[in-house]
Amino acid sequence: MLYAVDSEGRYEEIRNLPYQSFFDGCSKRLGAGALANMKVFLNMLIDTNRELDYDPDWTGVFSPIYQEACQRDLEASEKFLALLTAIVFKERNDAWSIGRHGINEIISPGMTYHRIQLQ
């Protein structure tokens, strides 16, 4: 579950992400299993408290984003990976916050996520 924090410090669940049609269109260009593999990798990073380092060369597990999904468009690739990361956090059973950022800021590379305890 993914939450934004409003100006009064209250958590608001993020149900819809911006740029969904962009994400869906790019996802259709991925090979079978590539999206699932990236989600598994992102969840492993989250579970082991490791940072996601954006690879400027777009090699490794995220290369299908640059090579296939976004057709070698760097800006689109960064946007796609940021959205994919937000989706992974959103699909988890534990609660995470994107801090004091509006929902439209969620696609920013370098976004910080924090595990939260809801009361």
Query: What CA–CA distance (Å, rounded) separates 107 from 101?
Result: 11
Please return the burial class of 70, using the count of CB atoms within 10 Å of its CB with bins 0-12, 13-18 and 19+. Answer: buried
What confidence category does residue 54 fall into, taking pLDDT thresholds of 50, 70 and 90?
low
- For position 8, what pLDDT does the model report? 81
Q: What percent of the chain has pLDDT over 90?
A: 52
**Could you give the percent of the chain with pLDDT greater than 70?**
87
What is the average pLDDT across 9-26?
A: 90
> Residue 108: what pLDDT?
60
Average pLDDT, the chain: 85
pLDDT at 112: 77
Residue type, 68: E
* Digit-coded pLDDT (tens) for 73-112: 999 999 999 899 999 999 999 999 885 455 555 556 667 7
